[in-house]
Amino acid sequence: MPGFELFGEEERKEVNDVLESGVLMRYGFDPMRNGHFKANEFENEFANLMGSQFAQMTSSGTSALTVAMASAGIGAGDEVILPSFTFVASFESVIALGAVPILCDIDDTLCLDAKAVEKSITSKTKAIMPVHMCGSVTELAPLQELCKQHDLILLEDACQAIGGSYHNKMLGTIGDLGCFSFDFVKTITCGEGGALITNNKKFAENADKYQDHGHDHVGSDRGAEKHPFLGYNYRISELHAAVGLGQIKKFEKIIAKQKSNFSILHGELSKVEGVEFRRVPENAEESYAFLNFFLPTEEKAKKSITNIKDAGVDACFYWYENNWHYYKKWEHLKNQTSLGKLPEEVRNGLQDFEKTDFSQSDSFLGRNISCLIKVGWSKEEMLERSKKIAEAVKSALAE
């Protein structure tokens, strides 16, 4: 996930346009701004690139998720089903609305298991949030079916999977809403930023207002704007949007390079008996942001990651023991530790983690190793890394 590896002339030009006018705000100040509307421009380009009707930039991926859910009418006490393996932002964005995140098992795609989702649906469920972790996706068709049957919103967290596809549609465009992050470590970066996309005009209109205090954006006099409903400030700045505009021009190149570096590692690991790759659904294509594989046991996975580190290779992860990405280490969520009092609906609605069985998730993530794919690595560097990784895994398997 390489955006920051590639800053250059494109980003500088866009940022300079903004600085020369001095208008860092996406709305208003028309006489001063020399006609630059970088956030609008980005939204148009991004919607085109994704094949979506509407795009709304926000201040982060986390806020994009919150805005997306708010725009679809999700609020206090509503349950949102999401995977046990994700980033903490997924449940934060739900709790921010007073809604209740319900964690659910993953399968060998490392993403939501539709069978487990079905069992988690209650009369309070309002949305299913598949998270396309590490560049790939679960079977979305069964989730779409469940949403149809139970009248639920399908919200894709595509923050880690920009450029991936499912049945020839870009990830993020399959659900009712799709969310992206442009934080510093994502495939395309604004420094900080995010976006949601949708083909639902009402959701798009709601999102446009909600992320800017509920201002209705009618007319050119900001001070005269009305407020059809309450909102917040989840706006992107013009400066951040400008960085994104520079980045988005390199999108095809970034994905192509991720793919070719991914293939090199895939080739080397394919030669190691006992390595199994993460399942990618038929008719889906990864974004190649990470390469994920399984070892036969948790012990072999732990030994492999130790060997990889000992061989001096960085950027490979054992998510099973990671504080940010797996439920096992989310003590703050499990203990409901907050600075203030959490809404009653959240306090009463959260799962009892002592009693919830995530052994299926454990059985997959405990055996998984995940290698980041950078675009800055040359073919030769990638091959050298890949050989070291394969050798480290092989020797762990031989013990």
Ligand X SMILES: *Cc1c(COP(=O)(O)O)cnc(C)c1O
Q: Which is nearer to ligand X, 125 or 187 (CB)?
A: 187
**DSSP, res 51:** T
Q: Does 103 bind ligand X (CB under 6 A)?
A: no
42, 46, 87, 210: residue in contact with ligand X (rule CB under 6 A): 87
CB of 389 vs ligand X, minimal distance in Å: 23
Residue reference for tokens 């794919």? 373
52, 56, 71, 86: residue in contact with ligand X (rule CB under 6 A): 86
Q: Does 120 bind ligand X (CB under 6 A)?
A: no
**DSSP, res 300:** H
66, 71, 84, 90: residue in contact with ligand X (rule CB under 6 A): 90
CA distance 65 to 228: 21
Task: Provide the H-helix boundaries in the chain.
Answer: 9-21, 38-50, 61-71, 89-95, 114-120, 141-150, 201-210, 238-248, 251-270, 298-310, 331-334, 344-349, 359-365, 379-398
Find, among 107, 137, 114, 119, the residue nearest to 285 by Cα: 137
Binding mask 37-66 for ligand X (x = CB under 6 A): -----------------------xxx----
CA distance 109 to 316: 18
Which tokens sit at 139? 């079977």
Q: Which stretch binds ligand X (CB under 6 A): 31-39, 70-78, 84-92, 213-221?
A: 84-92
CB of 1 vs ligand X, minimal distance in Å: 9
Q: Which is nearer to ligand X, 49 or 88 (CB)?
A: 88
Binding mask 146-185 for ligand X (x = CB under 6 A): -----------x-xx--------------------x-x--
CA distance 350 to 256: 41
CA distance 300 to 276: 13
Q: Which residue is nearest to ligand X (CB)?
A: 61
CA distance 51 to 29: 31
Neighbour order of strands in the sheet with 276-277: 276-277, 290-294, 368-372, 316-317
CB of 183 vs ligand X, minimal distance in Å: 4
Q: Which stretch binds ligand X (CB under 6 A): 85-93, 107-115, 139-147, 218-226?
A: 85-93
Which residues in the 272-291 window bind ligand X by CB under 6 A? none
3, 135, 194, 349: residue in contact with ligand X (rule CB under 6 A): 194
Q: Which stretch binds ligand X (CB under 6 A): 33-41, 86-94, 242-250, 372-380?
A: 86-94
Find, among 346, 384, 319, 385, the residue nearest to 78 by Cα: 346
Find, among 24, 31, 88, the residue nearest to 238 by Cα: 24
Q: Does 131 bind ligand X (CB under 6 A)?
A: yes
Q: At what angle do helices 38-50 and 238-248 cross, to 10 degrees?
A: 40
CA distance 129 to 113: 11
Q: Which is nearer to ligand X, 52 or 58 (CB)?
A: 58
Total residues binding ligand X (CB under 6 A): 14
Catalytic residues: 186
CB of 393 vs ligand X, minimal distance in Å: 25
CA distance 164 to 135: 7
> 284-285 and 177-181: which strand pairing?
unpaired
CB of 378 vs ligand X, minimal distance in Å: 26
Q: Which amino acid is at 248?
A: I
CB of 112 vs ligand X, minimal distance in Å: 12
CB of 191 vs ligand X, minimal distance in Å: 10
Q: Which is nearer to ligand X, 272 or 290 (CB)?
A: 290
CB of 186 vs ligand X, minimal distance in Å: 6
CA distance 133 to 322: 14
- Contact residues toward ligand X (CB under 6 A) are 60-62, 86-87, 89-90, 131, 157, 159-160, 181, 183, 194
